[in-house]
């Protein structure tokens, strides 16, 4: 008994000593502050906002399984008018509504791809400004696509337009890529990648959407931060099917299809089957954020070497966003059942959307769902899926170049490697590029984050000159 007590006291003393070290380290490390604030350039803002407005006013919604290539070709006429030098001097390839421009450089060994998508999601509900109005009011431009991501397409086309006007010749080949099916996971970007692969092009950097300049990206963080996406989770859709012989609802059995589906959902909700783990990218993200946060954040995230087990255990229950950074997520999204109020369904279904984390990727996560479903006599049908992407090292040359460009255009802006829980077209480039970096050089505050795929999508006009300058600086840097 005395030996056990001695061991317990020794462990407690060691823990207290380690916490004391972490506390001293935190107190002795100066807190940092995000110093960057946007500077206004009204003349350029208005010039670019008017161009973006014309792009927004042309509705470019993409629909799963619907071919709108001819519709997008009409949209391309706006781009031809707004960016004449790009269309005159660059080699243009159009593939079923997707666009690829090649700007030949002095060298060809480290080409870069700047990309954003033309298509947008549907605009439903009542908006403050009509969703395809392109209204420029109170320092904002309003409408579907202003933030996601016609702003990026406008900015890199404008950057090329201005450099061409100067007579600039890039040091490396520059490709401007824009698919028309990103929002539905369609074949626009894969066709562009297939064309580049056919040409033998292996990009040094692909710069797509994903991260951005985010205002207060996490509770406790004040100011603006460059969230640079280095890892994109995978995604899968599974249909869970419950079958029976049906029957009348006046004598319901104990295990009807909907009951079994409900028990299945209750099971994985109460006893979450996916493993939480803080991978390298998440650790870097939290460690880089820590110095800019309040004391508790600097203590916990600044000493991950000590507090990682505690954080991994507690974060999923504190925040759904934090949970998504640590594990494969499971989201029930669609249901079907009987067509009659008094009829038991012969078949009921539930659709799950999974976002795969690398440490428990597509195959393993799907197998966990299948085993759990089997407990309730449920079938699992794979609708579609793709695994998590390979991460970009924050120590790589490509990442360092992007960091240096951010320093040049956004002086004083903290740079944070970012784990993306959503999906982008950049994943299709993984086949031919080792550095697919997700970063849109625009500012997303709370209003922009709320409007993404929602009501009242908008963008502050001061973001537009910054975005153009970012792409110009990146082209010059290469």
- Rounded to an integer, what distance in angstroms lies between the CA atom of residue 444 and that of residue 9? 50
53 pLDDT band, cuts 50/70/90, is very high
- Closest Cα to residue 223, out of 38, 465, 39? 38
Contacts of 131 (CB under 8 A, 6+ apart): 123, 143, 144, 457
Q: What is the pLDDT of residues 222-233, one digit of tens each?
A: 999 999 999 999
Per-residue pLDDT at 362 exceeds 70: yes
**Window from 10-19, 325-334, 358-367 with minimum mean pLDDT:** 10-19
Q: What is the pairing mode between strands 140-142 and 136-137?
A: antiparallel
Domains and CATH numbers, the chain: 42-232+389-477 (3.40.630.10), 234-386 (3.30.70.360)
- Closest Cα to residue 462, out of 39, 26, 15? 39
Average pLDDT, whole number, for the chain? Answer: 94
Q: What is the pTM of this model?
A: 0.93
- Closest Cα to residue 327, out of 337, 335, 338, 319? 319
Per-residue pLDDT at 160 exceeds 80: yes
Find the DSSP H helices in 83-168. Answer: 84-89, 150-166
191 and 204 Cβ atoms separated by less than 8 Å:
no
Per-residue pLDDT at 107 exceeds 90: yes
Q: What mean pLDDT is predicted for residues 156-177?
A: 98
């Amino acid at each position: 008994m005395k030996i056990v007590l001695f061991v317990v006291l020794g462990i407690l003393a060691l823990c207290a000593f380690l916490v004391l070290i972490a506390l001293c380290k935190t107190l002795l490390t100066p807190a940092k502050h995000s110093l960057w604030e946007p500077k206004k350039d009204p003349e350029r803002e208005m010039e670019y906002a008017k161009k973006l407005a014309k792009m927004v006013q042309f509705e470019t919604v993409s629909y799963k399984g619907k071919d709108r290539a001819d519709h997008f070709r009409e949209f391309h006429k706006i781009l031809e008018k707004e960016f004449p030098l790009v269309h005159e001097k660059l080699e243009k390839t159009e593939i079923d509504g997707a666009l690829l421009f090649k700007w030949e450089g002095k060298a060809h060994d480290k080409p870069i791809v700047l990309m954003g998508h033309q298509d947008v999601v549907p605009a439903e509900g009542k908006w403050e400004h009509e969703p395809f109005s392109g209204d420029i009011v109170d320092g904002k431009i309003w409408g579907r696509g202003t933030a996601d991501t016609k702003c990026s397409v406008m900015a890199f086309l404008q950057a090329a337009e201005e450099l061409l006007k100067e007579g600039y010749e890039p040091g490396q080949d520059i490709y401007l890529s824009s698919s028309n099916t990103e929002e539905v996971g369609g074949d626009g970007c894969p066709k562009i990648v297939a064309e580049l692969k056919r040409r033998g092009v292996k990009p040094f950097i692909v710069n797509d959407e994903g991260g951005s300049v985010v205002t207060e990206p996490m509770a406790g963080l004040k100011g603006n931060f460059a969230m640079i996406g280095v890892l994109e989770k995978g995604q899968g859709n599974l249909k869970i099917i419950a079958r029976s012989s049906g029957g009348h609802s006046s004598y319901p059995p104990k295990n009807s299809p909907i009951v079994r589906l409900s028990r299945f959902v209750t099971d994985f909700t109460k006893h979450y089957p996916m493993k939480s783990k803080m991978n390298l990218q998440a650790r870097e993200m939290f460690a880089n954020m820590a110095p800019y946060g309040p004391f508790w954040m600097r203590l916990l995230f600044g000493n991950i070497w000590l507090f990682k087990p505690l954080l991994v255990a507690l974060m999923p229950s504190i925040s759904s966003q934090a949970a998504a950074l640590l594990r494969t997520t499971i989201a029930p999204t669609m249901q079907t059942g009987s067509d009659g109020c008094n009829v038991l369904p012969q078949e009921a279904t539930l659709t799950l959307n999974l976002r795969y984390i690398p440490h428990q990727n597509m195959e393993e996560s799907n197998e966990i769902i299948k085993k759990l479903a089997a407990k309730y006599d449920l079938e699992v049908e794979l609708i579609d899926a793709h695994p998590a992407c390979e991460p970009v090292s924050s120590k790589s040359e490509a990442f360092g170049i992007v960091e240096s460009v951010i320093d040049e255009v956004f002086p004083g802006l903290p740079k944070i490697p970012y784990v993306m829980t959503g999906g982008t077209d950049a994943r299709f480039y993984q086949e031919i590029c080792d550095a697919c970096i997700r970063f849109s050089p625009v500012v997303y505050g709370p209003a922009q984050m709320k409007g993404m795929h929602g009501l009242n999508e908008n963008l502050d006009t001061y973001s537009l000159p910054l975005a153009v300058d970012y792409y110009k600086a990146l082209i010059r840097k290469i």
